[in-house]
Structure 1
Amino acid sequence: MTTSTPIGASERAVLDAVRTGLFIGGQWRPAATSAVMDVEDPATGQVIAQVADAGAQDGLDALDAASRKQKEWAATPPRDRAEILRRSYELMVDRADDLALLMTLEMGKSLAESRAEIAYAAEFFRWFSEEAVRIAGRWSVAPNGATRLLTMKQPVGPCLFITPWNFPLAMGTRKIGPAIAAGCTMVVKPAPQTPLSMYALASLLAEAGLPDGVLNVISTSRTPEVIEPLVRDHRLRKLSFTGSTAVGQKLVAQSASQLLRVSMELGGNAPFLVFDDADLDAAVEGAMLAKMRNIGEACTAANRFLVHHSVAEEFGNRLAGRMGALKLGHGTEEGVDVGPLIDSKARDKVSELVADAVGTGARVLVGGSPVGERGYFYAPTVLTGVEPGARMLAEEIFGPVAPITTFQTEDEALAMANDTQFGLVAYVFTRDVSRSFRVAEGLETGMVALNQGIVSNPAAPFGGVKHSGFGREGGTEGIEEYLETKYVGIAL
């Protein structure tokens, strides 16, 4: 791998094209205090940009703008809202290369991964452009025949979205798309590590014709100071958060005072089950996708590999061979598969989890250590013989580490998979159709991937159970999070 500074003319041009002020009411402006914060390239530790650092008053100004626009935006014809989303989708596709380069510079993933995220993120705009014109209620006759029952769907109202750094655009479009389609205004707070992608998206949406005040974006390094007043403000009607369970619990508690509609997409501890009859070629390929997508920094990442004892050695060796062949480096470099982790804290946590597992008896098949003197790289790692008490079996690794443990029976595999407070997604590899359905029904997760390593799809409902949160994003279910149901009883 190389650690040379990547900022050349093309990279600088993409960075310089991004507006870096707060986007409030359709206007770009500095923070009220003129404060700024640095944006760092995690591959080098170099500061690549500075953006406005909002304070509490800036957050309230953004909510003011959203609240003022809500009534007008809710009355906008669904077809008009749909066309804005469709144009936004087309602009994202047209500008995928620049958006991908920008994302790689601030987040670290390879250009190939960034391009894949742009394509995925854009699909939420296309999907919800089609859902906007399909919002419907119902008409029915009361059971006694004396009256008629009418239900209608109406926008929830102003929303607050808090998005994470690991998917800087997709986690935004997954919330912004249905809100626009439903007729809701919004305030978006991107993660402080990756605000540039969201600001680029705000510019793109404005170009696509989104009226001023519908979308407001505020970056800040003082999240609690800015967010709590908004959550407790009576004008806010919806909160959607993607991030850690610990932060989500605090936000849910704060939201209780206003009884907000709340969606929480929180932590994961995804089991990856490989049964003795599995196609091992497909299982290893699926494992690479489920583990290494986004450098392992994903709530959907396979966190625990539960493999039948009869195939565990072969599976582990094959997976180690694939992981060891991955090329590390700056995401802008040709042929790079794996970029850096987001920061030193993330890298140090991965190191601690690996050391803990090895200290309790795990064996390193490949990797097992940080790499390089600059940036936050960690070698793709496979561990075998991981004992039940290892921390990484209970905590999200959020890095390129695959711990393998074994099971002997289907019931044991299910018990091990469900032995966690989290329940976002599980991966299952088996050629037995009956077992597929038994296991899918028995898993305590919001999503199950059968014989595939990627489960996310804009046309499907994304979300978890237990401490992985509640609410669904994407699919026909996704727009319901932004709609209230009103019943009208009609006397004849």
Structure 2
Amino acid sequence: MSDFLKNGLARNYLAGRWVDGDNGASMPVEDPGLGEHLADAALAGDQSLAQALDSARATFERGDLADMNPHARSRLMMRVAAEIREIAKEGGDLLCRESGKSLEAAEDEFEEAAQYFEYYGGMADKIEGKSIPLGPDYADYTVYEPYGVSAQIVPWNFPVSIAARSLAPALAAGNSVVVKSPELDPIGIAMLGLALERADVPAGAVSILNGVGSDIGAKLVSSPKVDQIVFTGSVPTGQAILRAAAGPVIPSLMELGGKSAAIAFDDANLDTLMSSLQSGIFYNAGQVCSAMSRVLVHRSIYDQAVEQAAALADGLSVGHGLENPGLTPVISALQLSRVEEVTSTATQHGSRIAAGGSALDRNGYFMAATILADVDPGSRVAQEEIFGPVVCFTPFDTEDEAIAMANGTEFGLVAGVFTRDLARAHRTARKLRAGQVFVNEWFAGGISTPFGGVGKSGFGREKGLEALFNYVRTKNIAISLK
């Protein structure tokens, strides 16, 4: 760890080396569970970015990964997975402290990161083209080629897992990658550099830089040295990146926000619904793009569902992530202020606060687990992504009404259906405007299931076999034999 941490400073991983910030620049990192300074992180600038891009390009042009025997590339990915597991305990502790999430969730992120490398490592030698019949006078076939240099901007809510989610398929396909880590919690993701280094990933194939989004983030996505952009984050930032990418015409993969709804029909199992509610909106303090942020409940069971949800929210233990409580803090004072501000507008539009509703009076950045009942589906709180432990309950009478409300936002990331009627579940799932639909279990699925949205939730897919083909482009080769 000595190269990674130097004099209390978390350093950047630049083309196989651990480096300080440009001109010694650094930035503080807080512990949101205490509201106190935790550590400092090196701050990359123009010089580091230029070196990272040049090294990535040189590595790609040499074919260090792209021309590697696919079986060897697969074994390399498996070594990375093993090394990630070696740092999971120490990395989980740091990630817990800097992000505020529970220690269990932080360690799970490193395990999930390892699984991404295993999953795509198993595909590295299976990226196969196809032969196209054009008659006896031609031989025609396709090959898949890596893009080149992939620029990847990672959000703060699941930095280690999301970094691996994009990094693993990109490397499996033979790309080089420059990762821009989140400013609020850059330490855990930087530790992935340790695993890459120890697994002998070619120097230059990956750089992980912490820098200001409006500075090196903006310069990264507009650089003509970049061949692909992968972004996970907010809609406004995604729109800004797409505008920047339009000039050099850089292909982009966008995973943006959500305001996802679960529909609970009259035959829904309320215990199942409450279990999904606990993980769907209170896990990681609701700071999840695919959070279960709206619950539409048939009027016949609506009052009972709201009552049980309020009891669930009021009964959650609250504490620092190291305690593995039911509710952890949000990432920062600014985020807490935003969550509280948006929530406070709900009652002005007829909503009723069934539980929570405000910040908690304690050290750190804690928002009470909040249940808003009788929420107008057109109100701000039902339309905007809050990114906090706040869920909106709204009653419905008919199936068509529920589907219309669920589809009634600009987002379309995920959705959910709770019913014992299998035919209704299939029928409703087909009509929901979302990239993924959960039936009777929020967050059902895993690494092998494609993930991504429609509308302002973005485009392209991460996870699963489908994601791998976001990191290659098809070349057709037609040969006349005449």
Fold similarity call, TM over 0.5: yes
SS at match of 1:203: helix
SS at match of 1:188: strand
Structure 1 residues 406-442: Cα deviation after superposition (integer angstroms, max 9, x where no partner): 1100000010011111000001111111111111110
Instruction: Say if 2:214 is the partner of 1:217.
Output: no
Higher mean displacement: 62-71 or 370-379: 370-379
SS at match of 1:134: coil
Among 298, 302, 307, which residue is 1:312 paired with?
Answer: 302
The letter for the 2-side match of 1:106 is E
Q: Distance in 2 between matches of 1:428 and 1:475?
A: 22
Instruction: Give the superposition deviation at 1:284.
Output: 1.3
Q: Give 1:122-161 correspondences, 5 Å limit.
A: 122-142=114-134, 144-161=135-152
SS at match of 1:141: coil
Q: Distance in 2 between matches of 1:19 and 1:184?
A: 29
Instruction: Say if 2:40 is the partner of 1:55.
Output: no
The letter for the 1-side match of 2:157 is N
Among 97, 106, 112, which residue is 2:98 paired with?
Answer: 106
Instruction: Give the superposition deviation at 1:15.
Output: 7.3
Q: Name 1:9's counterpart in structure 2.
A: none
Structure 1 residues 129-170: Cα deviation after superposition (integer angstroms, max 9, x where no partner): 11111100011321x442121101111100100000000101
Structure 1 runs (4+) greater than 4 angstroms displaced: 14-19
SS at match of 1:169: helix
Q: Name 2:398's counterpart in structure 1.
A: 409
Instruction: Say if 2:8 is the partner of 1:28.
Output: no
Decide whether aligned partners of structure 1 residues 228 and 336 sit closer, same or farther in structure 2, where only a CA change above 3 A counts: closer
Decide whether aligned partners of structure 1 residues 388 and 461 sit closer, same or farther in structure 2, where only a CA change above 3 A counts: closer
Q: Distance in 2 between matches of 1:18 and 1:442?
A: 53
Q: Name 2:472's counterpart in structure 1.
A: 483
Instruction: Say if 2:237 is the partner of 1:258.
Output: no
Instruction: Say if 2:283 is the partner of 1:285.
Output: no
SS at match of 1:377: coil
Would you say the 8 A contact 1:274–1:429 is kept in 2? yes
The letter for the 2-side match of 1:198 is I
Q: Distance in 2 between matches of 1:375 and 1:138?
A: 56
Q: Give 1:59-458 correspondences, 5 Å limit.
A: 59-71=49-61, 72-73=63-64, 74-142=66-134, 144-221=135-212, 223-333=213-323, 335-455=324-444, 457-458=446-447
Would you say the 8 A contact 1:456–1:462 is kept in 2? no
Would you say the 8 A contact 1:288–1:453 is kept in 2? no
Higher mean displacement: 300-309 or 90-99: 90-99
Would you say the 8 A contact 2:257–2:456 is kept in 1? yes
Q: Any stretches of 5+ residues in structure 1 without a counterpart?
A: 1-13
TM-score using structure 2 length = 0.95
SS at match of 1:481: coil
Structure 1 residues 333-366: Cα deviation after superposition (integer angstroms, max 9, x where no partner): 2x52211101111111111122111232222222
Would you say the 8 A contact 1:147–1:490 is kept in 2? yes
Would you say the 8 A contact 1:267–1:422 is kept in 2? yes
RMSD: 1.8
SS at match of 2:420: coil
The letter for the 2-side match of 1:233 is S
TM-score using structure 1 length = 0.94
SS at match of 1:140: coil
Q: Distance in 1 between matches of 2:225 and 2:336?
A: 40
Q: Distance in 2 between matches of 1:100 and 1:226?
A: 27
Would you say the 8 A contact 1:19–1:199 is kept in 2? no
Q: Any stretches of 5+ residues in structure 2 without a counterpart?
A: none
The letter for the 1-side match of 2:267 is D
Would you say the 8 A contact 1:18–1:196 is kept in 2? no
SS at match of 1:319: helix
Would you say the 8 A contact 2:283–2:327 is kept in 1? no
Q: Name 1:473's counterpart in structure 2.
A: 462
SS at match of 2:124: helix
Number of paired residues?
477
